[in-house]
Structure 1
Amino acid sequence: MLDKKQLIVPLAIATIVMAGIVGWEINKRMSVNTAITSQPSPGVTKEQNLTSEIAKSQNSIVEKIAKEVTVRVFTESVPGSGAIVFQQSKGRQGNIYSVLTCQHVIADSKKGVYRVLLPDGKIYPARVKSTPKLKGLDLAIIEFDSDTIYRVAKLGKSDRLGTNTSVYAAGFPNHHVVNSAQIEDTSDWGLHAFRVTTGKVGSISPQQLPDGYSLGYTNEVASGMSGGPVFNDRGELIGINGRLKYPVEGIDAFVYADGTKPSIEVFQQMEALSWAIPIATYQQSFNK
C-alpha cells in the first residue's frame, strides 16, 4: 500500500498536466472568439459601409463648395446671406462679382449701405444692381469689386428635383443658442458663424407661394440665413433660402399666387418645412 508521500508526486504531475490542457483550451477558445469578433458585423454589409462613406464624401465636397460661394450680407439693420453667381472681369481694374440674395435682406437699408463678408475673411462695400426682371420675387442682386478671384456657384436643375432628394442649406445665422438662458449675437463672429445644414426635399408646391417660393425642405434654417444658397448633392445651386419653418402668420403665409389656400392637412405639412425660391424661377425671370 502506497504512503502519502508516494501519492503526492503523481497527483502533482496530474494537476500540472490538467492545468496545461485547460489553459490550452481556454487560449484556443479566446483565439477563436477574437477571430470571430474581429470580423465585420453581419448586420452591416459592405454595400452599407460603402454607401456611408460615399455620403460622407459628398457632404464634405458640398460643404467645401458652400464655404467658397456663400457670403454674409451686412446691411443697416439685420444681416443676411447670399451666393456668388456671376463674375465679370474689368481687366486690370479687377472683377465685378454679383451676389444673389433675398430682397427682404436688403430692403431695410434706408441709406443703401451694404457690405459683404467673403470666404477669405475680407469685407467689401457693395451696391444694389437694378433688376426689374426680378420684380415680384423675393430676390435681389448686389455687386462688389475685387482683384481677388472667388469661386462662382454653378447653377443646377431645380426643376428636376424630387421629394426626398438630399439638399444642403448654407448661410450665416444671426444668433447662436448657448443654452436655454443664453443666446449670442454672431454679427462679429466673422466666418465662424457660417453654417451648413442637411436635409431632404419635402415638398415642391405645384403653385407658387408669395414672392416666388415653391421649394420646401426639411433643413433647419435660422434667421440670418435668408438669401443663402441651397445646394444639391453635387454642390450645384438649386435655390435661395428665405422662409423659416412655422411662420407666425400661420396658414396666411401659404396663400397661393391665385389667392387660394392649402387644405389644413397640406398646410400642416408645409409649415414644418423651410422654403426657398428655386433657381429655375430666377433663371426664367431673365428669359421673359
Structure 2
Amino acid sequence: MLYFVNLRSLILAAYIGSGLFYLPIQILPKNFSDLESSATQIQSQNCADCNHVCTIKELKSLAKSITVKIISENGWGSGIILKQEGKVYTVITNQHVLDTDYKSYIIQTPDGLFYQANEIENEDFQGNDLALLEFRSTHSTYTVASLENSTTLSPGDKTFAAGFPTLEKPQDTELLFTRGRVSILSDRPLEKGYQIGYTNIVKKGMSGGPLLNIYGQVVGINGMHAYPLWGDPYVYRDGSQPTVTLRQQMSHLAFAIPIETVAKLAPKFASISTIEFHQTVSSKKVFNYLLFDGFSELLNWKFYLHILPTSSCKSTV
C-alpha cells in the first residue's frame, strides 16, 4: 500500500532526524496550518533566554511605544523616537510634516502627555524628506526605536506600518497599525529619498511614522501613501523617470525612506550595526523562521537571502 506524506511533515522529520531541532517537539502546533495563520510568531531577542517569540499584538504594542504624534497649525503627522540623551528625546519625521508658516510644534507621547518641541535645523538631509525634532521630558521615560538596515529586506517580506491618521478629533491618540509586504526596493532613490515600496495601508497623518520589519525594528520612515492626489512623486533624483509599467506599479504602493539614510546623514542621532551577509544560518534560526513563514518559503531558499537580524521585541512589551 502506498502512503502519501505531506511534504512539510517530511521536511520536519528530516530535520528532527538530523538533530537540528533542539527544542521539545511538544511546542509545535498540532496542525501545520496554525503556522501560517494571520501572521504570527516572531523570533526575538532581549529576553532572558532568547527563546521568547513575539506576537502581532506585541509588535503593535512596540510600534505604539516608539511612535509620537506631531501637532502643528496645519494638523498633525507622526514621528519616531530615535534617541534619548538624558531628559532630551530626538524624534525623526518627514520634512513635509513640519512645513508650516508658524514653526511651533507639540509632541504627544504614547502616554498621552504633550510636550513643546523644537526643530533641529542644523542637520543637512540633502533634499530627503526628513527632519528632526527634540523635546524634554523631566518625569516620564520613553522607548527608543531599534533600527535595522533596509538592505536586509527582500520583495515579499512582511512589513508593519504605524502612525496617527488624520481624524476629526485632534486629541484622539489611536494608532493605526497595518500589515503588508515589501513590493519594490529601488536601487536608486526618488527625488525625496523614497526607495521602499510596500503594500501596507498608509493614510494622511501617518507620515513620519515607522515601517517595521518582523522583528520590530525600524527599517524605514513612512511618508508617501498610494494613489497620490497631486504632483508627480515618481521621479528619480537624477531627473530620470521609471518606465510606464514601473510607474503604474509604484502608484499602488506606499513608500518609505530607508532608515539608513538617516544614519548616513545624521550619524550622531542614529546608528545601524554593519550587516554581514552569507553567514551560516543556525538551526535555531531556521526553526524560528519556519514558524513564521512556513516550509514552502524555505524550499525557495528565502532564508539564504536573509541573515535573520536580532529583534527589538521584548517579553515585557
Larger radius of gyration: 1
Q: 1:111: Cα distance to partner?
A: 2.7
Aligned to 2:251: 271
Aligned to 1:212: 193
| Alignment match of 2:181 (pick from 200, 225, 234) | 200
Higher strand content, 1 or 2: 1
| Alignment match of 1:188 (pick from 159, 166, 171) | 171
Aligned to 1:284: 264
Q: 1:135: Cα distance to partner?
A: 2.9
3-state SS, counterpart of residue 78 of structure 2? strand
Is 56-65 or 44-53 further displaced after alignment?
A: 44-53
Aligned to 1:168: 160
Q: 1:280: Cα distance to partner?
A: 1.2
Q: 1:54: Cα distance to partner?
A: 6.7
Aligned to 2:229: 248
Q: Deviations over 1:98-142 (max 9, x none)?
A: 01000000111x232110111111011100012433131100010
Could you say if the C-alpha distance between residues 171 and 54 of structure 1 is closer, same or farther in structure 2, counting changes exceeding 3 Å? closer
Letter in 2 for 1:187: P
Which runs of structure 1 show a deviation greater than 3 angstroms over 4 or more consecutive aligned residues? none
CA RMSD in angstroms, aligned pairs only? 1.9
Letter in 2 for 1:96: V
Larger RCO of the pair (alpha carbons < 8 Å, separation 6+): 2
Letter in 2 for 1:174: T
Aligned to 2:58: 61
Q: Is contact 2:106-2:117 (8 Å) kept?
A: yes
TM-score, structure 2 normalization: 0.68
Aligned to 2:217: 236
Q: Deviations over 1:241-286 (max 9, x none)?
A: 1011011347x32011111111111111110000010101111223
Q: Is contact 2:123-2:266 (8 Å) kept?
A: no
Aligned to 1:47: 32
Long gaps (5+) in structure 1: 1-43, 90-94, 176-184
Match status 1:119 vs 2:110: yes
CA distance in 1, matches of 2:183, 2:219: 14
3-state SS, counterpart of residue 192 of structure 2? helix
Number of equivalent positions:
227
Q: 1:53: Cα distance to partner?
A: 7.4
Aligned to 1:80: 77
Long gaps (5+) in structure 2: 1-28, 42-53, 269-317
CA distance in 1, matches of 2:72, 2:162: 19
Q: Deviations over 1:158-196 (max 9, x none)?
A: 121100111111000003xxxxxxxxx13122x2x3110
Q: 1:62: Cα distance to partner?
A: 1.2
* % identity of equivalent residues: 37
Aligned to 1:154: 146
Q: Is contact 1:165-1:200 (8 Å) kept?
A: yes
Q: 1:218: Cα distance to partner?
A: 0.2
Q: 1:287: Cα distance to partner?
A: 5.5
Q: 1:49: Cα distance to partner?
A: 1.0
Aligned to 1:104: 96
Q: Is contact 1:70-1:84 (8 Å) kept?
A: yes
TM-score, structure 1 normalization: 0.75
| Alignment match of 1:128 (pick from 96, 107, 119) | 119
Q: Is contact 1:58-1:233 (8 Å) kept?
A: no
Q: Deviations over 1:80-104 (max 9, x none)?
A: 0001010001xxxxx0000100000
